[in-house]
Amino acid sequence: MSSRELSETQIQNVLQGIRIPPQPQIMVDLQMEQAMPDPDIARIAQLISKDVGLSGTILKLVNSPFFGLSNKITSVEQAVNLLSYSSVINIVNGLTIRSEMTDEDIVALNRFWDSANDISMVAATIAKEIGHKNHDEAYLLGLFHNCGIPLMMKRFGVEEYSKTMSEAYGSDQIRIIDLENERYNTNHAVVGYYTAKAWNMPMHLCSAIAEHHNLNQLFDDKYSADSEKKNLIAILKIADHICASCQVLGGQNTDYEWRRYGESILEYVGLGTYDIEDMAARFREMGISVGDSFID
- Tell me: the pLDDT tens digits for 201-258? 889 999 999 999 998 888 876 555 678 888 999 999 999 999 999 999 999 999 999 9
pLDDT (0 to 100) of residue 97: 47
Confidence of residue 286 (pLDDT cuts 50, 70, 90): confident
Q: What angle do CA 241, 74, 59 make, to 5 degrees?
A: 110
> Which residues are paired to 4 by β-bridges?
83
| Residues 175 and 122 both lie in one domain | yes
Domain contains 28: yes
Q: Which candidate, 245, 261, 203, places its Cα nearest to that of 228?
A: 203
Confidence of residue 32 (pLDDT cuts 50, 70, 90): confident
Range of the domain at 39: 8-98
The whole-angstrom separation of Cα 232 and Cα 243 is 16
The whole-angstrom separation of Cα 12 and Cα 20 is 16
Show which of 78, 98, 118 is a domain's final residue: 98
Domain contains 274: yes
| Residues 178 and 238 both lie in one domain | yes
3-state SS class at 41: helix
| pLDDT of residue 14 exceeding 50 | no
| Residues 152 and 245 both lie in one domain | yes
| Residues 87 and 155 both lie in one domain | no
Task: For residue range 73-118, list pLDDT tens digits in order.
Answer: 888 888 888 887 777 877 776 665 445 566 677 777 788 888 888 9
Confidence of residue 39 (pLDDT cuts 50, 70, 90): confident
pLDDT (0 to 100) of residue 27: 81
The whole-angstrom separation of Cα 255 and Cα 171 is 10
Confidence of residue 1 (pLDDT cuts 50, 70, 90): very low
| Residues 274 and 198 both lie in one domain | yes
Task: For residue range 60-83, list pLDDT tens digits in order.
Answer: 878 877 677 778 888 888 888 888
Number of domains composing the chain: 2
| Residues 46 and 187 both lie in one domain | no
Domain contains 3: no
Show which of 54, 73, 98 is a domain's final residue: 98
| Residues 280 and 187 both lie in one domain | yes
Q: What angle do CA 198, 199, 202 make, to 5 degrees?
A: 100
Residues 6+ apart with CB under 8 A from 125: 279, 283
Contact present, 208 and 141 (Cβ < 8 Å): yes
Domain contains 1: no
pTM of the model: 0.78
The whole-angstrom separation of Cα 117 and Cα 266 is 23
